[in-house]
Amino acid sequence: MIRHILLVKFKPESNEADFGEIREEFASMTERVEGVESVEWGENDSPEGKNQGFTHVILMTLKDEAARQRYLVDPEHDALKEVFGPHIEEIIVVDYSLVAELHD
């Protein structure tokens, strides 16, 4: 299992209608690309003030490495970038393979 994490600073002119369209595009990836198992969308609400202007997080769960490779070159990913890309001021992308979940 692979987690694909996006930390996003949106352009100041992007608004709630834009965010709604982008959210829908991401949510539909589970149906449009084989191996995309889930997508989460969240807005920073940390009281620590350490987000450095990054306001949104998108977390995608991909079934495995083959799914990640499919997703990265899939035309549906390109379609997503067409909707999402114009609104990005800055982005950080981090992937990691989920080896084990840690519990207390």
Residues 86 and 7: beta-carbon distance below 8 Å: no
Residue that the structure tokens 């449009």 belong to? 32
Specify burial of residue 53 (Cβ count, 10 A radius: 0-12, 13-18, 19+): exposed
Give which of 67, 58, 57 is closest to 37, Cα–Cα.
Answer: 67
20-39 pLDDT tens trace? 999 999 999 999 999 999 99
Q: What is the pTM of this model?
A: 0.89
For residue 98, name the pLDDT band (cuts at 50, 70, 90): confident
For residue 104, pLDDT beyond 80 = no
Residue 59 phi, psi (nearest 5):
-120, 120
The arithmetic mean of pLDDT across residues 74-93, rounded, is 97
Specify burial of residue 23 (Cβ count, 10 A radius: 0-12, 13-18, 19+): middle
pLDDT at residue number 74:
96
